[in-house]
Chain A
Amino acid sequence: MAIAEISPLTDTSLNLLELRHKRRESALHQLVQVAFEHQVVRHPALLETLLLRRERLGSTALGHSHVVTGAWSWCVRSPLVVVGLSLKGLDWDDAAGDGIEIVALVLTPGEIAEEFHYRRMEAVTGALRLQRQRQRLLDHRDLPTLSLLLRELPR
């Protein structure tokens, strides 16, 4: 009997896109808009304000060309992780200053426990911490690779 691994193609809690712009504000806008188009976000402008305020408190760039930002908010209807990839590299306020290639936006609805949001953030930061994991995503740039990378993500 052959056993095949079936990729979770119907997984609606993940999304992958190419970031068109170089600025941080534009990248966040694009990520939030995608979430809004998927009817995951209630007040997109408000969510953008929240994310930019979070950046002002301290950059969410974790070094080594990736950013993991997120919101546990009533502006969010259902859990979603949107990952944006940039070919040119984004201008983010990162200590290394080497240009950001991967931005992950972790959205968790306000009605779910805060602990669940922290566990999701930890799963995403953990998955993107290793260079070879990030490189695999940058090489393949597809949803099955992202699903595999974030298989530990609580959904």
Chain B
Amino acid sequence: MSAVEGFLELHDLDVLLAQAGDDARRGRLRRMGYTVGPAPALVRERERLAGKLDRRWLNLYERSLGRYGRGLSAVRNRVCLGCRLTLPTSAAPPPGEAQLHVCEGCGRLLLWD
């Protein structure tokens, strides 16, 4: 698993945790007919995954998660979709390579498309 995939998975876990921990979201899912499972299993899974990730990137991710509610952002046409900052050409990873970068504007980890 690459670092990018690790953080994508972590983000998805955080979304599920937010669903499980929020009454409004849970209520909405229940009205659709779903049962939302227990959060402790998710917390354990998150801890297990976070343990495998680079501490430096994890700190940056968690800082953005705490500040904006989301630690990742996509980049399209060199624009960070989180803060709309146009990123320098030099910030782009080589074609075909998935690398982690930090947005200079908002500090989120960037996913280059």
Residue ranges of A at the interface with B (Cβ–Cβ < 8 Å) = 42-43, 46, 49-50, 53-54, 56-60, 62-63, 68, 71-75, 77, 109-111, 114, 118, 121-122, 125, 129
Contact = CB atoms under 8 A, between A and B. Distances in A.
A49 B113 contact: no
B74 A122 contact: no
Given A46-B9, A57-B20, A73-B12, A63 B72 contact: no
Contacts, number: 68
14 contacts: A46-B8, A53-B12, A56-B37, A57-B16, A58-B37, A59-B35, A62-B32, A71-B12, A73-B11, A74-B74, A111-B81, A122-B28, A125-B33, A129-B33
Contacts of B72: 74, 110
Contacts of B111: 42, 74
Contact of B8 (A57, A62, A75): A75
A119 B11 CA distance: 21
A109 B20 CA distance: 20
Q: What's the interface size class on B, roughly?
A: 20 to 34
A133 to B, nearest CB: 15
Given A53-B16, A74-B72, A74-B111, A58 B34 contact: yes
A54 to B, nearest CB: 7
Contacts of A74: 8, 11, 72, 74, 111
Given A50-B12, A71-B12, A73-B15, A122 B32 contact: yes
Contacts of B38: 57
A89 to B, nearest CB: 19
A62 to B, nearest CB: 4
A57 B42 CA distance: 8
Contacts of A77: 113
B49 to A, nearest CB: 11
Nearest to B113: A77
A118 B74 CA distance: 20
B34 A60 contact: yes
B43 interface: no
B27 to A, nearest CB: 11
A49 B11 CA distance: 13
Given A46-B8, A62-B33, A74-B8, 18 more contacts: A42-B111, A50-B9, A53-B13, A53-B45, A56-B41, A57-B36, A57-B38, A58-B34, A58-B37, A63-B33, A71-B12, A73-B12, A75-B8, A75-B12, A77-B113, A110-B11, A122-B32, A125-B33
